[in-house]
Structure 1
Amino acid sequence: MNTFGILGFPLGHSFSKKFFTDKFTKENIDASFLNFELSNIQDFPTILEQHPDLKGFCVTIPYKQDVIQFLDDIDPLAERIGAVNSVQIIRENEQFKLVGYNTDIHGFTESLRIFLDGAKPKALILGTGGVSKAVATAFEEMDIEYQFVSRTASDKCISYEMLSSEVISNYHLIVNCTPLGTFPKDDTCPDIPYEYLTKDHFLYDVVYNPAETLFMKKGAEKGAKTHNGLKMLHLQAERNWEIWNR
């Protein structure tokens, strides 16, 4: 039986196991999907040793960048982004090759096009982790101007304290790429000045559980359009499946 899985820590919130287990049942696919919850990425090689039938796996927080050190090859787009969220395992005889891809950009881009419905606002990216790099690359491909926001200002980022009414009025798309608001800590949200939001703003949260995060609720209260990360996950999951079965 072929095995697939997801690598990350923690994985209690993971969407992937249910998605693929349901897919295998509905489509009568003889395969299993496992959670590889590692507190230390250096333990990753043991997964390959213990699961010789493993054909591919997703990568989630906090290992989208750390997993790259174990790969034999990386897709040019994933290399450009600097983050991998999907790994294909190519096995020949007793040897295997690990190839990294980034499907976050596909899921985000396609779901964002639907959400914006032709609009092309300037964007703020909240957070600087692996998914934020995919979002930034998507914006470059879509010719959308963007600005990173982090807790500490740097050459590439402004800080949350710098989000004035003027900044918020100039950037009408705000994407939450932090884990803030994810169940069970769904009473948290990025520290932005929600009072400056208007009906002209678009708030996209890559978090999908809960379906409406506090970030989205606060935006909706000001009339902003909101969108969660579920559609993005469905799109990237199907792209993962295509990659693993090439």
Structure 2
Amino acid sequence: MLHLGLIGYPIAHSLSPWIHSKLIKDQQMEGTYELFEIDPDKFDTEIVKLKAKDLDGFNVTVPYKERIIEYLDDIDDAAQFLGAVNTVKVIDGQWIGYNTDGVGYVTSIENRYPDTLKETSKVLILGSGGAARGIYYSFLQKGLRRVDLANRTVAKADHIIRELEGEDFSQPLSIEEAEYNIDKYDIVVQTSSVGMSPNDHQSIVSLSRNVRGSLFSDIVYRPKMTVFLTQAQSMGADLHFGYEMLLHQAIYSFKIWTGTNPDTDNIMKDFERKLEGE
């Protein structure tokens, strides 16, 4: 019997229980996936209680991806380098931390557009939060030679580039610089919360240039068609949706916990139908 879960705050509307229940069923396993919504003021007390539960693993979402680290017994290299954990595997009572955000994102791109990621691809990442950090790291690990970072505060973009040792491959840009040069990139990734409710009427950039043949991606998954993606589509871009990253990072977590290899295409179709029905 597999015992899994998610910690974060707030998480009542998380799609993770649906995804992992589906994965458990598709792998013909028995198990549960439980939400552990922990008030930030009670985190230290509640995390000790969680240690006593008979869990096989759990996911970690905001605001605890950094805070969980001090409670881990070990951490893999990527999570250590990024300073953030979104997946914990329990082995003989020991908590081992991983980060599947970036690798899940890159896998979702490869699954939808298998010929898009090339060493020569020019990538622009908009935003400099935790998601941007993980995605940036995974692009560099994939061997891409040009991955620029843009943020309203350029110093934050520059900090990520320097901390993750990407000076030879990247330039920090302002949002205005990114907007002006956006047609020069093969892949543009929107990683901020702009476009998510209650800011779903906004876009981090205003698109006015032809970007036909480029791939525009938004990690926001509610709504599916953000203002950013709607603008990109009108300018000729191919689209990649936030729910694809969400699903693939979850699948990667499931692989870590179980060692299984779920059928990605089948669960993606079911996931799309679920989202369309909401």
Distance in structure 2 (CA, Å) of the matches to 1:99 and 1:190: 37
Distance in structure 1 (CA, Å) of the matches to 2:179 and 2:150: 12
Match of 1:63 in 2: 64
Match of 1:151 in 2: 152
Match of 1:110 in 2: 107
Question: Which residue identity is paired with 1:97?
Answer: Q
Match of 2:268 in 1: none
TM-score using structure 2 length: 0.76
Q: What whole-Å deviation, never above 9, does each CA across 1:194-227 have from its counterpart, x for those lacking one?
A: 1135213211112223322222111101111111
- TM-aligned CA distance change 1:76 to 1:242, over 3 Å: same
State whether residues 24 and 30 of structure 2, in contact with CA within 8 Å, keep that contact through their aligned partners in structure 1: yes
The secondary structure found in structure 1 opposite 2:124 is strand
Q: What whole-Å deviation, never above 9, does each CA across 1:62-116 have from its counterpart, x for those lacking one?
A: 322232222221101221232211111223xxxx321111112322222223426
Runs of 4+ deviating beyond 6 Å: none
Gaps of 5+ in 1: none
Q: State the Cα distance separating 1:60 from its structure 2 match.
A: 1.9
Give aligned-pair identity as a percent.
31
Length, aligned pairs only:
240
- TM-aligned CA distance change 1:118 to 1:149, over 3 Å: closer
Q: State the Cα distance separating 1:237 from its structure 2 match.
A: 1.8
Q: What whole-Å deviation, never above 9, does each CA across 1:111-154 have from its counterpart, x for those lacking one?
A: 22342624543112122222212211121123321122222121
Is the aligned partner of 1:180 residue 2:184?
no
1:3-82 alignment, distance < 5 Å: 3-40=3-40, 43-50=43-50, 52-82=53-83
Q: What whole-Å deviation, never above 9, does each CA across 1:129-187 have from its counterpart, x for those lacking one?
A: 2221221112112332112222212134433233342x2132232111122333x4362
The secondary structure found in structure 2 opposite 1:233 is helix
TM-score using structure 1 length: 0.84
Distance in structure 2 (CA, Å) of the matches to 1:123 and 1:151: 18
Match of 1:125 in 2: 125
Greater strand fraction, Structure 1 or Structure 2? 1
1:186-201 alignment, distance < 5 Å: 187-201=200-214
1:204-215 alignment, distance < 5 Å: 204-215=217-228
- TM-aligned CA distance change 1:225 to 1:111, over 3 Å: same
Distance in structure 2 (CA, Å) of the matches to 1:109 and 1:21: 23
CA-based RMSD = 2.5
Match of 1:90 in 2: 91
- TM-aligned CA distance change 1:245 to 1:192, over 3 Å: same
The secondary structure found in structure 2 opposite 1:199 is coil
The secondary structure found in structure 2 opposite 1:143 is coil
